[in-house]
Amino acid sequence: MAARRTLCLGLVLLAAVGVLQSQAQAPVPVQPDFQQDKFLGRWFTAGLASNSSWFREKKAVMSMCLSDVAPMAEGGFNITTTFLRKNQCETRSLLLQPAGSPGSYSYISPHWGSTYSTWVVETDYQEFALLYSEGTKGPGQDFRMATLYSRSQTPKDELKQKFSTFCQAQGFPEDAMVFLPRNDKCLKEQD
């Protein structure tokens, strides 16, 4: 009888955790009628949010990145990002493969070797784009990240607010978000 009560209590707790998680994180939409050709070109990474402990440790020293988005022959994107690391400019490329509906992609992390999903949540193609990524780095290590891309190094306040609102809907606490300062050393094109 005691084992049965323990089992029931465990199931109730699991259900409660599931309800809390579903309330904390809104479903991630994809940009309706996403047009990949309009998404191409130069973007600045203006804002980030993540549940990663690494991100929280490093966010104070992070600065704006420059990303060039180019099409791949088989579909998807090659995103080449230049960023400042230890006072040196580094460049990395990420290959996003189509994964389902337009605006949905997957990629393999060169660092972790894990597969992640990425969605273009919203974009107007001219000023901003909101992206969301998730995956698992290892057992019990879920990774989630939201990104604000801007065509300008000085995104408008309403775009920052849109990003903050989206991040809160995804359950990111305030201390898991950052708006990245300009870094003229590695940004090839100024406003």
Q: How far apart are CA 95 and CA 79, in angstroms?
A: 6
Average pLDDT over residues 14-24: 34
Q: Domain residues of the chain, as ranges? A: 27-179
- Name the one residue in this structure whose structure tokens are 């003229």: 184
Per residue in 31-47, pLDDT (tens digit) is 999 999 999 999 999 99
φ, ψ dihedrals at 92, nearest 5°: -135, 150
How would you classify the pairing of strands 141-150 and 77-85?
unpaired
Which amino acid is residue 140, in one-letter code?
G
| DSSP letter for each residue of 130-178 | EEEEEEEEETTEEEEEEEEEESSSS--HHHHHHHHHHHHHTT--GGGEE
Cα distance between residue 191 and residue 173, in whole Å: 31
Output phi, psi for 125, to 5 deg: 70, -25
Rounded Cα–Cα distance for residues 104 and 119 (Å): 5
* C-alpha–C-alpha distance, residues 18 and 12, integer Å: 10
Whole-angstrom distance, CA of residue 191 vs CA of residue 183? 12
User: Which CATH class name applies to 27-179?
Assistant: mainly beta
If one compares 12 and 91, the residue with the highest pLDDT of the two is 91
Alpha-carbon distance 77 to 132, whole Å? 15
Q: Per-residue confidence at 139, pLDDT binned at 50, 70, 90?
A: low
Active-site residue, selected from the candidate residues 8, 65, 89, 186: 65
- The mean per-residue pLDDT over the stretch 164-183 comes to 93
pTM above threshold 0.85:
no
Q: Which two tokens stand for residue 25?
A: 């994180």
The pLDDT tens digits for 150-170 are 999 999 999 999 999 999 999
Report CA dihedral (162, 164, 169, 171) to the nearest 10 degrees. 160
- 89 flagged as catalytic: no
